[in-house]
Amino acid sequence: MKRGSLILFLIFALITFSFAERTLQIWAMGEEAKNLNVMAEKFMKENPGVKVEIQAIPWSAAYDKILTGIAGMQLPDLAQMGTTWMAPFGSMGVFEELSSYMRDSFISKDIFFEGSWQTVELNGGIYGIPWYVDVRVMFYRTDVLKEVGYDHAPQTWEELYDAAKKLAARGENMYGVSLLYTGVFGNEFMPFAWQAGGRIFDEKGNVRVTDPEFVEAIEYYARFFWEELAPMGGGNLFQDFASGAVPIFFSGPWMVNMIDQQTPEIKGKWSVALMPKKKTRTSFVGGSNWVIFNTSRNKDLAWKFIEFMTRPENQLEWYEIVGSLPAVKSVWEYPELANDPIMKVFGEQLKDAKSPPNIPQWEEIANAISRRVEEVIYKKKTPQKAAEALKKDIEKIVK
Amino acid sequence: MKTNWIWILTFVGPALILLMVFLIIPIFASFYLSFTDFNVFAMTDWSRAKLVGLRNFIELFKDELFWKALMNTFYCLVVAMPVTVVLSLTCAVLLNREQTRFKSFFRTSFFLPFITNTVAIAVVWSWILNPSYGLLNWFLSLFGIKGPNWLGDPRWAMPSVIMLVVWKAVGYNAILFLAGLQNMPDFLYEAAELDGATSWQKFWYITLPMLRPTMVFVTTMMIIGYLQLFEEPYMLTQGGPLNSTLSIVLYLYRQGFKFFKLGYASSIAVVLFLMISALTLLRLKLAERE
Amino acid sequence: MRKRKSSWLQEIAVHGFLFIMAAIMILPFLWMISTSFKTPAEIFVLPPRWIPKEPALENYRELFASINFGRPFMNTVIVASSITFLSLLISSMAGYAFAKFRFKGRDKLFFLILATLMVPGQMTMIPVFLLLRQLGLLNTYAGLILPGVASAFNIFFMRQFIMTIPNELIEAAKMDGARESFIFFRIILPLSKPALTTIAIFTFTGSWNSFLWPLIIAQDERMYTLPVAVSVLAGQYGENLGIQMAGSCVVITPILVFFLFAQRYFIKGIALTGLKG
């Protein structure tokens, strides 16, 4: 009897051991993390014996948390990573290279938007998989623009400038567009440089910010401030948009819900449009990727989770939960997105969107760009002189 | 009279050990980095940081943004320190009078800036300082003054930051002064009153001298704290416009934690440390002489 | 300050000044409370409404629905009170030694301690993290508590305060054959009540609100403190301001209660009984 129960116990122990739960640890940020539980439950149902543990990290301190985690090699299996954080953290050598995982997977470069895919490629390797994307578009007040004779959104640089002039001429404290002029606004400025055909580096890695296209973009951007078409340090974006004082601004998809929530009174009086065209209508693409840490002991499982999150039906579900834009192109053909007039614009813009150079020095370059453009805005330097100074800055940074 | 070594160890030992482990050793570690080219690639493997001697310091010396940050930070110290001392001392003395009513209400209010969430503070201050809808410019307009574009004007951004600095510090230092005032023996004042001293005389000849240890503490902490100005410009202006509110620590934070140049950032920390300790020593030496 | 009757005018001036100061201090706090009861649509309405048109409870409802407050609250209580108790004890001991003991190298040692305040906290973040990992203290209460205990600020403040205690008092006790421990616990500590109360309030408040360090030490959500748990709800672009404000109201309410309670010890006189006899 005694022996029998021992054997039974052993068998039982063996069974539990072989089915022992494997735990997948994930770091995710803010509200994404809070809502990710829904997806995690679904994943666990599909994969019995797997436990997903999500550690929610506040956005405000995520950067420091990841940094100390990397320095001390105290990392989860999988993490959400902002696209502009890919290069700096990736350069520290803790992300798993994913090419070999992709070989036998439905995940490939072509299923994602090009600009979004740029953010996972680092030093010739693939260090992440896009999760969701952000792209900047033009938000504008349809009714206010009609007042100055525009029954459509400004389509080109010339139209934007012209519309801004007419809008600002409406009276005192009236402006055309809202643009950032202080802080770090490299991400806000770069679309204009791209639209003009400018670039920071050429294929050989030479700094090209003194090219006429880039200088033209600096001047175009600064002119809105010189001629008081864009407010400097006044008001409140929502308030001024609602009152019509500043009827045009550029921002990402998160703004759609925020405008609805914070200024419900202008419902139906605003819309979104593509970026204005110079040579192109290029915009800035950001968002978040998935990365696997190479310290993980559950890389196979982590990859499985990435595949799970990349499946079109799950991308759609995620869109419906938090409203962030799917990174997978085919999802945009679902009626939920295709029939939504606002989403259609975002989808269209995503086809012409870039991310900044994926190098760890980008943050420093973005700072330098902001500093020099700011000097032009405040008329401390001419666009040409600022571009020359910027060239020196960048050459020093990447040296 | 000399104290027994055993007692000294018992009383100073625990504090010293904890400070050693959690501050002094890490500080030495980070000072060591100032002689290396520690950058993003060394983060997971410190051996990749090469010793470069004084290169960081030489570069720092030539860095025009660092000089700008240095000037801005001293600007803040020179303006904010006297204003804070006068305001908080006044509050504390007034709160310590017997005739003053609603004391616990005042004390509680002075405590509030200190516990209110920094996000709330940042949002409410950028609203107060908003040139078109802000409380401050509305208030000024009552007197027919057209207020400036506080945070958007390079000349006014630093004064705005200083306003927030002082606002946060007044209540806090008033509570510290209050603790010092509460320790004062009544008989001194009673004696002075018998001699017919006015309140001003009592303040000048009794309160201030008796408060000297607290004053030394408060001003020393201000030198140390204000020269490490960071949070306020970080929240309000991120150093702009035109780097007019860029402080030393904000610059250090950028270099070290945004650009991951920890070697360079450490050299900023070393220079800052040397400046603060020189000023602090000066302050303490002055206190000894008084 | 004892005084004969002062004039009405003087009282009005004094109270007027204090009320203006108080108003400036309270303003952001009131704004925080008022925002916590606002719907997103009402937050940015200008001119601001101090009393929301339709006070909304949904921020608090969402907060309590998505956070399980029990565990983070207990964590914060444990951490903040341990830090406060230990720091008070250790700092007043050291403060006493630096104020009243005489030994070789005292001032140099004291300056070394002071020097730890002169390096920005960011610089020590990574080394301390590596150290705690080495000591196996990540994800433990000890890891949350110990780095907060050693406070040069508290030591300095206690030293300055204890310096004002007359030496005669200590000499007299020594003549009676008292040991240092007796002098410390029976004379110095009781006489330092105003100072102890002050730094207790500051230390408790500081560690209660501390946010970055607990997050870095915590390796899973079970070790989260209240501010960390609450701040998770804030979005990347600062949307949901109402919830954030509701969160900070919830976080600081216990501190306010603690402060009002501790205020009683501010009352003058208790500390001075020893002096007057």
If asked whether residues A171 and A278 sit together in one domain, one would say yes
Q: How far apart are CA B102 and CA B97, in angstroms?
A: 11
If asked whether residues A259 and A183 sit together in one domain, one would say yes
For residue A4, is pLDDT > 70? no
Asked which of A319, A335, A354 is the last residue of a domain, the reply is A354
If asked whether residues A305 and A211 sit together in one domain, one would say no
A267 in any annotated domain = yes
Residue A288, beta-bridge partner list: A82, A132
Q: Which residues lie below 8 Å from residue A100, measured CB to CB, with a gap of 6+?
A: none
Name the least confident of A43-47, A81-85, B200-204, B250-254. B200-204
List the 260-279 stretch of B: residues with Cβ below 8 A of C.
Answer: 262, 265-266, 269, 272-273, 276-277
Which of B170, B175, B182, B186 has the alpha carbon at shortest distance from B211? B182
B21 in any annotated domain = no
For residue C274, is pLDDT > 50? no
Q: Note whether A374 contacts B242, CB cutoff 8 Å.
A: yes
Q: Could you tell me which chain A residue has the CA closest to the CA of B149?
A: A233
Instruction: Determine the average pLDDT of the residues in C211-222.
Output: 88
For residue C2, is pLDDT > 50? no
Name the least confident of A153-162, B203-212, C33-42. C33-42
Q: At residue B144, what are phi and psi to the nearest 5 degrees? A: 75, 20
Per residue in B266-289, pLDDT tens? 999 999 999 999 999 999 888 877
B279 in any annotated domain = yes
Instruction: Specify the pLDDT at position B45.
Output: 79
Q: Are C268 and B182 in contact (CB under 8 A)?
A: yes
| Residue written as token pair 């050429």 | A202
A384 in any annotated domain = yes
Q: Note whether A378 contacts B40, CB cutoff 8 Å.
A: no
Per residue in B222-262, pLDDT tens? 999 999 999 899 888 888 799 999 999 999 999 988 888 88
In this complex, is the C-beta atom of A257 within 8 Å of any C-beta atom belonging to chain C?
yes
Query: What DSSP designation does B117 have?
Result: -
If asked whether residues A276 and A365 sit together in one domain, one would say yes
If asked whether residues A92 and A166 sit together in one domain, one would say no
For residue A240, is pLDDT > 60? yes
Q: Which chains touch B (3 or more CB pairs under 8 A)?
A: A, C
Helices (H), B102-156: 103-115, 118-128, 135-141
In this complex, is the C-beta atom of B140 within 8 Å of any C-beta atom belonging to chain C?
no
Per residue in C12-46, pLDDT tens? 999 999 999 999 999 888 888 888 888 777 776 66
Locate A139 and state its tokens: 């938000």
Peptide bond into C52 cis (omega under 30): no
B222 in any annotated domain = yes
Q: How far apart are CA A299 and CA A43, in angstroms?
A: 16
pLDDT: which is higher, C233 or A260? A260
Instruction: Determine the average pLDDT of the residues in A221-227.
Output: 95
If asked whether residues A347 and A384 sit together in one domain, one would say no
Q: Which chains touch A (3 or more CB pairs under 8 A)?
A: B, C
A303 in any annotated domain = yes
All structural domains of chain C: 1-56 (no CATH), 66-276 (1.10.3720.10)
Across all residues in chain A, what is the average pLDDT?
90
- A181, A183, A235: residue with CB nearest B238: A183
B23 interaction partners in chain C (CB closer than 8 Å): 116, 119, 124, 150, 152
B133 interaction partners in chain A (CB closer than 8 Å): 235-236, 239
If asked whether residues A279 and A297 sit together in one domain, one would say no
Per residue in B137-147, pLDDT tens? 888 988 988 88
Q: Could you tell me which chain B residue has the CA closest to the CA of A71?
A: B44
pLDDT: which is higher, C196 or C263? C196
List the 50-109 stretch of B: residues with Cβ below 8 A of C.
Answer: 87, 90-91, 94-102, 104-109
H/E run at residue C180: helix C180-182
Instruction: Specify the pLDDT at position C275.
Output: 41
**Amino acid identity for residue A237 in this structure:** L
Q: Which residues lie below 8 Å from residue C271, measured CB to CB, with a gap of 6+?
A: B182, B183, C190, C191, C192, C193, C194
Q: How far apart are CA A146 and CA A155, in angstroms?
A: 14
Across all residues in chain C, what is the average pLDDT?
84
If asked whether residues A226 and A340 sit together in one domain, one would say no
| Residue written as token pair 């399980």 | C68
B172 interaction partners in chain C (CB closer than 8 Å): 202
Instruction: Specify the pLDDT at position A168.
Output: 93
Residue A138, beta-bridge partner list: A250, A273
If asked whether residues A303 and A254 sit together in one domain, one would say no
Instruction: Determine the average pLDDT of the residues in A303-307.
Output: 95
Q: Are B110 and C16 in contact (CB under 8 A)?
A: no
Containing domain of residue A303, as a range? Answer: 21-135+285-354
- A29, A72, A254: residue with CB nearest C239: A254
A1 in any annotated domain = no
Instruction: Specify the pLDDT at position C7.
Output: 82
Containing domain of residue B170, as a range? Answer: 55-289
Per residue in B23-48, pLDDT tens? 999 999 889 989 998 888 887 777 88
C131 interaction partners in chain B (CB closer than 8 Å): 21-22, 25-26
Task: Please report, for residues B187, B219, C168, the alpha-carbon distance to residue B206 in angstroms, rounded to integers and kept in the order given.
Answer: 11, 19, 20
A85 interaction partners in chain B (CB closer than 8 Å): none
Instruction: Determine the average pLDDT of the residues in A368-372.
Output: 94
A254 interaction partners in chain C (CB closer than 8 Å): 235-237, 239
Q: How far apart are CA B169 and CA A358, in angstroms?
A: 42
Q: How far apart are CA A28 and CA C221, in angstroms?
A: 12
- CATH number, domain at A102? 3.40.190.10
Instruction: Determine the average pLDDT of the residues in C101-115.
Output: 90
State the first-to-last Cα distance of chain A, in angstroms, to the nearest integer.
78
In this complex, is the C-beta atom of C20 within 8 Å of any C-beta atom belonging to chain A?
no
A9 in any annotated domain = no
Q: At residue A292, what are phi and psi to the nearest 5 degrees? A: -105, 135
Total structural domains within chain A: 2
Q: Which chains touch C (3 or more CB pairs under 8 A)?
A: A, B
- C22, C161, C271: residue with CB nearest B213: C161
Most confident range, picked from A307-321, C62-76, C192-206: A307-321
Total structural domains within chain B: 1
C220 interaction partners in chain A (CB closer than 8 Å): 53, 55
Q: At residue A393, what are phi and psi to the nearest 5 degrees? A: -55, -50
Pick among B64, B258, B264 to test the A interface (most A CBs inside 10 A): B258
Q: Note whether B44 contacts A232, CB cutoff 8 Å.
A: no
For residue A11, is pLDDT > 70? no
A15 in any annotated domain = no
If asked whether residues A184 and A246 sit together in one domain, one would say yes
For residue B3, is pLDDT > 80? no
pLDDT interval class at A94 (50, 70, 90) = very high
- CATH number, domain at B246? 1.10.3720.10
A2 in any annotated domain = no
If asked whether residues A256 and A190 sit together in one domain, one would say yes
Gyration radius of chain B over CA positions: 23
Which of A259, A282, A261 has the alpha carbon at shortest distance from A272? A259
B114 in any annotated domain = yes
Q: Are B76 and B237 in contact (CB under 8 A)?
A: no
If asked whether residues A368 and A235 sit together in one domain, one would say yes
